[in-house]
Amino acid sequence: MSRLVVVSNRVAPIKEGKVAAGGLAVGVYDALRSSGGIWFGWNGEVTATPTLSSETHGNITYATLGLTRRDYDNYYRGFSNATLWPIFHYRIDLSRYRREEYEGYRQVNHMLAEQLQPLLRPDDVIWVHDYHLIPFADECRRLGIRNRIGFFLHIPFPAPEILTAIPPHNELFKTLCSYDLVGFQTEVDRQAFEDYITREVRGLVGADGSMTAYGHNFRAKVYPIGVMPDEIQQTAASYKGRRNLIGRKASGEPCQTIISVDRLDYSKGLVERFNAYEELLNRFPEHRRNVQFVQIAPTSRSDVKTYQNIRQQLETQAGHINGRYAELDWMPLHYLNRSHERRILMGLFRNACIGLVTPLRDGMNLVAKEYVAAQNPDNPGVLVLSRFAGAARELNGALIVNPYDTAGMAEALDRALRMPLNERKERYESMMLPIRSADLASWRDNFLQDLRGPNTRTVRAEKIIRVV
């Protein structure tokens, strides 16, 4: 089998036997281990000159480099996280556009392609991840790199009306067409991309998912990312610590802990969630003293202004809720800004009677799947899930909510807190079907099989139909 080269914005080497880092990193690591290859990208450091360094563990080489302060500001903090991230999450109001940041983004993609080129062999297959690297294949093609290159978008792909708010959208999405295969989390995202290609660019779409635009033939398909349910079940069941914090299920009593785990990001809907919890305590006073809400949300991108604002807002809101409802022996809301080890999170999930996952937009949201996979099958908790998470397309057994509807969310929480065991079990079992069938391994294998499979450049012309 040809080597795999994974390109992602951040690369954190995983050493043999130390793969507890969680979901995605482990999935990519396994793919690299089975075919051997390179994991290439930014090492997370800001340096005076970007110098490539590599370390090899077994058959995987981690080739990483730092970014200069200017590149970090323009490429990462600027165009990736202050323009693309908000727009892809439908938040035009939070996005800003600066031409020099876009140029910096293009330059970093060019520089990364140049740095990777000498490491490549002719039959290597390249798998590029996420919105930081949209122009990467185009830069490779300009350098004469002819390898298969696939791209997977981890975040939502918005409707064209939103997307076209990015001033250089035409130029940017032209570069996306240089990939051989473009993968999305859900059919909604793929459809939005198809709408963009057909309406904005007058591209062609085939019944088999092949597309032609800007003179390139490529495929666009859906690969919902999953988790490793057996590993999660095992980790969650064997976790013994902190039972006294939220271990009521272990004692046979109905569990009354609601848990949420997110990166601290405005797309995750934390403000709306806090409001809904307050509404629950206000409208359903019988739950006071019987319920506690644990929100774990480590800060991310803390040097981007909108992230500082959301953090401040949540601190005020958490103080308000506890100030208003707490009693000497009862704290309604535990708001923790620290990151937690994976085995602790899985243990907390298993012992919480509600997993509250209510993003305003999310590509998939692995926490929703992890929460379900961690449950005790004999006494499972209830997943309360936003309709705007990609995971809602698969997890029909969740209580689906609209995060903008505070009263509706409070009612769903009340219903979940009262849900009888037989209904909880039915819902759990129905959710475990897609979690098992579309797990992390099938996400990875399906994508790589398609990328390694027959080349779209050979798709016959008659298979292409015109879409007006």
DSSP conformation class of 145: -
Q: Per the structure block, which two tokens stand in for 340?
A: 């937690």
Query: From the CB of 345, what's the least distance to ligand ADQ, in Å?
Result: 6
Beta strands in 147-246 (DSSP E): 148-152, 181-184, 204-206, 210-213, 216-222
The answer to whether residue 154 forms part of the interface with ligand ADQ (CB under 6 A) is yes
Among 168, 209, 298, 408, binds ligand ADQ (CB under 6 A): 298
- Of 66 and 224, the one with the shorter C-beta distance to ligand ADQ is 224
Q: In this structure, are residues 156 and 34 in contact, taking their beta carbons and an 8 Å threshold?
A: no
Burial of 187 (0-12, 13-18, 19+ CB in 10 A): middle
Q: Find how far residue 169's CA is from the centre of its chain.
A: 22
Query: Which residue(s) pair with 150 in the sheet?
Result: 127, 181
What one-letter code names the amino acid at 8? Answer: S
Query: With binding defined as CB under 6 A, does residue 98 bind ligand ADQ?
Result: no
Return the SS3 of 33. helix
Query: Would you call 154 a catalytic residue per the annotation?
Result: yes
Segment lying near ligand ADQ (by CB under 6 A), choices 48-56, 107-115, 187-195, 339-347: 339-347
Single out the segment in contact with ligand ADQ by CB under 6 A; choices: 18-26, 51-59, 67-75, 98-106: 18-26
Cβ-contact 270, 297 below 8 angstroms = yes
**316 φ/ψ sector (left φ>0, alpha ψ -120 to 50, else beta):** alpha
In the region spanning residues 224 to 253, those forming contacts with ligand ADQ, defined by CB under 6 A, are: 225
Q: Could you say whether residue 113 binds ligand ADQ (CB under 6 A)?
A: no
CA dihedral 199, 173, 38, 19 (to 10 degrees): -70
| Least Å from the CB of residue 362 to ligand ADQ | 4
Q: State the number of binding residues for ligand ADQ (CB under 6 A).
A: 22
The piece of 20-28, 72-80, 207-215, 307-315 that touches ligand ADQ (CB under 6 A) is 20-28
The single residue among 54, 191, 313, 339 that binds ligand ADQ, judged by CB under 6 A, is 339
89 catalytic per annotation: no
From 27-35, 192-200, 363-371, 410-418, span contacting ligand ADQ (CB under 6 A): 363-371
Active site residues: 154, 362
The contact set with ligand ADQ (CB under 6 A) reads 22-24, 154-155, 225, 261-263, 296-298, 339-340, 345, 362-367, 370
